[in-house]
Structure 1
């Protein structure tokens, strides 16, 4: 990759992280009512997951460890669960992603 490509990648990543961080400041609002189905973001890095939601969808985060931790640096978190389920229309739905630090294991789903 040349210098220009590297700069573009860094700027795109910084823009994505900034957009995600800004979305964390306000309360979660319903997703855009555009009929898109909820993508499957489980197992993805939080920045990549948010990118699949087009950076415009308000998202709530739930600490997968139950410790109430706050996501301050999205790149260091991963998605363990999501609500609504993949394929569900996102019309006026609140999106909740259950997340843990990228170095942690996701808890096994309750039986």
Structure 2
């Protein structure tokens, strides 16, 4: 799994969607729908950076680009 933490979710989707099944999850816990990944940033991923992908979909925990990833705790 590439290290995409802190990156733009839309860019990650464009670069990796043809290679893998992925899902975006609102890291705030508010259950917001991620309709446009380009306005979200990646705070965490399952599997984590530099880990082998063994299960799909790959899940990206994301927040709006104006929000702070440090305010979230990975599950």
Give the TM-score of the pair, scaled to structure 1: 0.57
| Pick aligned residue for 1:68 from 31, 37, 57 | 31
Q: Which has the higher strand share?
A: 2
Structure 2 regions of 5+ residues with no counterpart?
A: none
Q: Which has the higher helix share?
A: 1
Q: Which of 1 and 2 has higher RCO (CA within 8 Å, sep 6+)? A: 2
Please state whether the residue corresponding to 1:47 is helix, strand or coil. Answer: helix
Q: Which runs of 4+ in 1 moved over 4 A?
A: none
Please state whether the residue corresponding to 1:99 is helix, strand or coil. Answer: strand
RMSD between aligned residues: 1.8
Q: Structure 1 residue 78 and structure 2 residue 41: aligned?
A: yes
Count of matched residue pairs:
72
Structure 1 regions of 5+ residues with no counterpart?
A: 1-37
Change (3 A) 1:95 1:85: same
| Aligned position for 2:73 | 109
> Greater Rg, structure 1 or structure 2?
1
The Cα of 1:92 is off from its aligned counterpart by 4.0
